[in-house]
Amino acid sequence: MKLGIIGLPQSGKTTLFNALTRSNTPTTASAGRIEVHNGVVDVPDPRIDKLSGMFKPKKTIYAKVTYADIAGLEGNSKGISGNLLNTLGQMDAFIHVVRCFEDDNVPHPAGSIDPARDAEAMLTELLLNDLIAVERKLERLMDERKKGGTDKTINERQTVLFNRLQEALNNNTPLRRLEYTAEEDKELSSFGLLTRKQILTVFNLGEAQKAPSVELDHPSVALPGKLEMEISQLSPEDAQLFMSEYGIEEPALNRMIRLSYDLLNLQSFFTVGEDEVRAWTTRRHATAHESAGEIHTDIARGFVRAEVVAYDDLTALGTMAECKAKGKFRLEGKEYIVKDGDIVHIRSSL
């Protein structure tokens, strides 16, 4: 899972990046330059800690999330350059940082703090970029029809699809709000349309500042970015004291990862043993066969059956043997829907 942190200059993107990754990346402005900083973090999950304590494996491996701090977007609707567009297209979703804090030492490029204006500016830039890309595709499809050089059926299908996208964008509707068939999803996967990606807006507050009232068509959260960054640099003990003092219930990382999983409709399942206890990420409602592919494509290809125990059953009963004795150990086929927290062992012929 890779999430791109975007926002206008001086919004606090790098501050949030540092808070989430416990980095010390300089928070100076990039002045319109395209800069990308990547950080990979473990997904905090007390369940894997519990399982590791039970099995005492040689290795404990947490699920991973990559955050990318992306500078270069200006919110001025002049179009997004090729290199930046390529970077944005590689993200699974966006975290959009909107500035709410006042700071005379960090002047806002627009001269004033206005979260609603800034949120709209960035969303409009993404939408206009998609509109330009869709209109160009429709022009190419028209040229191909005139020349007769492509499959007529494919051309007609794509023309219908891209006309639908154009209509939505002309009505200021982001493409993530449309429904797509599996065939359309496949058709659009290589186009890197930005408003098809899910987005989470983070209102970057000053200390003791309240969240603004801004209407959005997607999830949002408000947090004090600078304070969270300072907390992330402390030892766990000092961080807990600091959070208690400021009434913060959990670090930004835990909160953001949970929201990111919800945003992308993801969940975790586990594999356990003496060698390794590991968390894996899969989509919600994924089948056992699909989830096997998250472990290794060969395991999915040779899938025979899945041996499944629910996390709550294993931790309550204490051992796999006891789960079998109590009828909590199940053999499931390819179409079994994996649940969040399932402990899964895939039997494969390969």
Pairing mode, strands 2-7 and 64-71: parallel
Q: What amino acid is encoded at 240 in this protein?
A: Q
The predicted pLDDT at position 329 comes to 96
The predicted pLDDT at position 249 comes to 82
Burial of 182 (0-12, 13-18, 19+ CB in 10 A): exposed
State the CATH class of domain 285-348. alpha beta
Strand partners, 271: 278
Domain ranges of the chain: 285-348
What is the distance of C-alpha 270 from the center of its chain?
20
Report CA torsion sign: 177, 259, 231, 35. Answer: negative
The predicted pLDDT at position 79 comes to 66
Which single residue is written with the structure tokens 């206009």? 128
How far apart (Å, rounded) are the C-alpha atoms in residues 59 and 213?
Answer: 46
- Whole-model pTM over 0.95: no
The predicted pLDDT at position 75 comes to 67
The predicted pLDDT at position 29 comes to 55
Question: Which of 265, 268, 263 minimizes the C-alpha distance to 278?
Answer: 268
- Quote the tokens at residue 307: 């041996």
Those residues with Cβ within 8 angstroms of residue 207's Cβ, 6 or more apart along the chain or in another chain: 224, 226, 227
28 and 74 in contact (C-beta within 8 Å)? no
User: Per-10-residue mean pLDDT for the chain, 350 residues long?
Assistant: 92 92 74 79 93 96 94 71 87 95 88 93 93 94 82 89 96 95 90 93 91 91 90 87 84 86 94 96 96 95 96 96 95 97 95
**Cα→Cα distances 183→68, 180, 187, Å:** 30, 8, 6
Question: Which of 131, 205, 201 minimizes the C-alpha distance to 173?
Answer: 131
What is the distance of C-alpha 263 from the center of its chain?
7
